[in-house]
Amino acid sequence: MENAIILILAYLIGSIPSGLWIGKIFFNTDIREHGSGNLGATNSFRVLGKKAGFVVTILDILKGTAATLLPLLPYLAESSIHPLVLGAVAVVGHMFPIFAGFRGGKAVATSGGVVLGYAWPLFVLLIVGFLISLKITKIVSLSSMIVSVVALIYCVIHTIITGDFALLILVFILSMFIFYRHRANIKRIKEGTEPKVTWI
């Protein structure tokens, strides 16, 4: 029973559509009807502005962290499910949220939150790498995919040293999610039509 409850909670946490709710509550705007139509942080920046975009980013990150840390709750501590599995379930919830018609974000911020909850040094590395890449390329989608590759390289080295295959497997799965969800972006990058940010 504990396992079923914790999996459902992880999915529901991931399903919280931060960008949609903040857009509707504070801006009377459904971000699905503007910009890329995506519910993630990037479209929130584009449609709602920098302040709202940062808030959505933080909330989306914390969804992954909260799901990963669910086993710390007293009633759920007896669950036999690995924390990274819960994080992955939250990412699925973010991509296919029950609260937003199963049309969600592209998994980047929530995946980062999973890493934050399980291996914070890697999270710090990815944030720094993302900002450097974004500064150079001005393309959020490209920077997101670049740091997913960096995460994989880190995890390979980390696994060789520590034997922690769980993190490597999780990051590999999340990277596949990220690349899959950015299929259209990859096409636009090749065509030179992918939008660039101006705030960094």
- Asked if residue 198 belongs to a domain, the reply is no
- Asked if residue 200 belongs to a domain, the reply is no
- Asked if residue 196 belongs to a domain, the reply is no
Q: Quick one: pLDDT at residue 123?
A: 96
Q: Which is nearest to 175 in space by CA: 138, 139, 140, 150?
A: 150
DSSP designation for 99: G
- Asked if residue 187 belongs to a domain, the reply is yes
As for how many domains the chain has, the answer is: 1
pLDDT tens-digit series, residues 98-123: 999 998 988 899 999 999 999 999 99
pLDDT at 198 over 90: no
Q: Return the structure tokens found at 44.
A: 């929130």
pLDDT at 7 over 80: yes
Confidence of residue 75 (pLDDT cuts 50, 70, 90): confident
Q: Quick one: pLDDT at residue 25?
A: 94
Torsion angle of C-alpha atoms 187, 190, 193, 195, degrees rounded to 10: 80
Q: What is 127-154 written as a DSSP string? A: HHHHHHHHHHH--HHHHHHHHHHHHHHH
- Asked if residue 122 belongs to a domain, the reply is yes
Q: How far apart are the first and last CA of the chain?
A: 47
- Asked if residue 123 belongs to a domain, the reply is yes
Query: Region 68-82: what's the mean pLDDT?
Result: 88
| Structural domain boundaries, residue 116 | 2-191
Considering the chain, what percentage of its residues have pLDDT values greater than 90? 80
Say if residue 161 is exposed, middle or buried (CB neighbours under 10 Å; 0-12, 13-18, 19+): exposed
pLDDT tens-digit series, residues 33-71: 998 888 888 899 989 998 999 999 999 999 999 999 999
Q: Quick one: pLDDT at residue 22?
A: 95
Q: Return the structure tokens found at 94.
A: 């973010």
pLDDT at 200 over 80: no
Full-model pTM: 0.90
For 181, half-sphere exposure in the C-beta direction (CA atoms, 13 angstrom radius) is 27
